[in-house]
Copies of this chain bind each other. A is one copy, B any other.
Amino acid sequence: MIVMTPQASEQQVEAVRERLARTGVHVVVMPGELTTAIGAIGDPQGVTELGLEGMDGVDRVVPISRPYKLASLELSHSAPTVIDVLGRRVGGGSTFCLIAGPCTVESRDQTIAVAQAVKAGGASMLRGGAFKPRTSPFAFHGLGREALEVLAEARAATGLPIVTEFLDATHADLVREHADVLQIGARNMQNYALLEVAGKLGRPVLLKRGLSASLDELLQAADYVLKGGADVILCERGIRTFETATRFTLDLGAVPWLKLHTHLPVIVDPSHAAGDRRLVEALSKGAAAVGADGLIVEVHEDPTAALCDGAQSLYASDFAAFSRTVLAHAGLEGKQLA
């Protein structure tokens, strides 16, 4: 839909009409009282790329179609996608997937201990960072390959699938070898080079929403991965707003909105959004109640000694109780632990 300025001349309207017509779309000119609007029916991507906003007399171009394709519920699927990860089912409405574990793998013993605690407490998968994106180049960046080997050992010990962050294309082989789900972090949501690599590794991708990414952009980023052939699990993890009381603003309204528009599973990360352990359980229950397909939470044996994100990590000793109360809300929504 192209909206002309009130002063646009007939020639300017005609120039836009003609430019559109040349691309093969069907064009409808609608002269209004104040402004003329021109509808272009057909190839929305093509029309967007024309840059008609720059033509004389054009005030705005208002896209009518949603910009994503493969992630679209309406265009690509008639039903929600269910992803199977070593037997755990994610998405589809009847399961709730509880991913838990430490922010970062600090040592073999710490990781095995947390893995056993979250397994006992009801977790569906184990998370743990091997490579950590840090705002400062002078901060701790993870143990790398060694951490991945520890995670694989934890999987062997507990049977839990492994979720770990993939943040550098040069780690592709390493990460594919050791992990079952590859996480793309919020800061890399629009790192298209990485998304394309991730889409071709044959592992489901857990795609976190960027700090200031719109939901349309999140689904376009998912399109990058889906185009490569991989499955995608979306993750709402808080957006950046003016409010600083919580570290980010968890956008729980995104969950039911995504359910209307995409077939992909949607989980929630309450830990990074809150930045404060005292808020994590409430947000987790809220996520279950708005219809999320699962959670990814940080858990640590001794959060006050954690190398990163200690403030927001749950105590491993509290995890079973946490799990029960969250699953009670998920149960009201017809979901059982994945």
Contacts and interface: CB of A to CB of B under 8 A. Distances in A.
A224 B137 CA distance: 5
Interface residues of A, number: 116
A260 B3 CA distance: 15
Nearest to A138: B45
Nearest to A282: B256
A200 to B, nearest CB: 13
A256 B239 contact: no
A54 interface: yes
A289 interface: yes
A25 to B, nearest CB: 9
Interface string A137-169: 111100000000000000000000000000111
Given A39-B39, A75-B6, A135 B282 contact: no
A309 B61 CA distance: 13
B215 A212 contact: no
B239 A216 contact: no
Interface of A: 1, 3, 5-7, 19, 28, 30-35, 37, 39, 41-42, 45, 49-55, 61-62, 64-65, 67-69, 74-75, 133-140, 167-170, 187-188, 190-194, 196, 210-212, 214-217, 220, 223-224, 227, 238-246, 249-257, 259-260, 273-279, 282-283, 285-291, 303-304, 306-313, 325, 328-329, 332-333
A274 B253 contact: yes
A190 B187 contact: yes
5 contacts: A35-B65, A135-B220, A214-B242, A215-B245, A253-B274
Given A65-B34, A193-B167, A289 B278 contact: no
Nearest to A58: B311
B30 A283 contact: no
Given A245-B216, A303-B54, A308-B49, A279 B256 contact: yes
Contacts of A279: 253, 256-257, 260
A252 B254 contact: no
Nearest to A131: B193
Contact of A34 (B35, B74, B212, B289): B74
Given A65-B34, A253-B249, A54 B168 contact: no
Given A28-B28, A65-B32, A256 B273 contact: no
A253 B244 contact: no
Given A42-B32, A62-B62, A137 B192 contact: yes
Given A1-B64, A32-B42, A242 B240 contact: yes
Contact of A283 (B28, B256, B306): B256
Given A211-B212, A289-B286, A303-B54, A69 B138 contact: yes
A309 to B, nearest CB: 7
A36 B138 CA distance: 23
A215 B243 contact: yes
